Structure 1
Amino acid sequence: APGIVFYRLVNTLDAMWGYRTERYCHFGWAAAKLDDGLNYLPARCTALSYAVLSDATNALRCWKTQAAAHASPNGGPVIAAGAGGLGVLLGGPTRYQGVWQDKPYLGTGSLPKVDDLQRAMRLVSLSLL
């Protein structure tokens, strides 16, 4: 139970102050790095499960070649492997607080369509099992 509380605390601190603002620069940086460390193995287990349960060759290739392009050290492997395994592109230009930011595309193929949502939900469900 103490480990669960600690993990939840770190995750919440990262969500609240993990972004680099002048006011929370040092505290937010520490919370973000601690959260990254705690999620290192779970993120890679998730990416590996996505690969095993989908197009493994494409998922592993995307993970290896694209994950580092993502700003998050843990989000990159998961998104790249999932998108590669499903054969879709995720990411690209994104709006944050009204400002467009150029984000990398991860995966292969075309942008997702409505039908791809069901496949993605199935992949997540199978991974959870």
Structure 2
Amino acid sequence: MATASVDVKELSSSYVFVADVPGLRHTDIKVQVENDSILKISGERKREDNLSDDIKYVRVERSAGKFLRKFNLPANANLENISAACQDGVLTVVVPKAPPLEPHRPKTFDVPVGSCSFNTP
């Protein structure tokens, strides 16, 4: 199985995944979110099969085959606005952060006190 090297960066407003996918077109790559918490990047590098029978490989160093990388997304990932783009053999996936929840603030308020008489037995 081939692999794709990935850098993961955290910015103030997003998480950025940058993967090396040399020789692949954007149509060769699949980006998915599984179970609302896992970013999945997959694809396949194909070897040139259109060679004639009289050519044999002397050395093969470039990996070929399917690749798959999975990353756990943080709880504050905004899954609705993920974007991905592939250019010059580099895939960039941007996962925006959801706005922080309002922290719980204790409230102070007045309770009106009325006058009444309690009948006790």
TM over 0.5: no
Q: More helix per residue: 1 or 2? A: 1
The TM-score normalised by the length of structure 1 is: 0.21
**Greater RCO (CA < 8 Å, at least 6 residues apart):** 2
Which structure has the larger Rg? 2
The TM-score normalised by the length of structure 2 is: 0.22
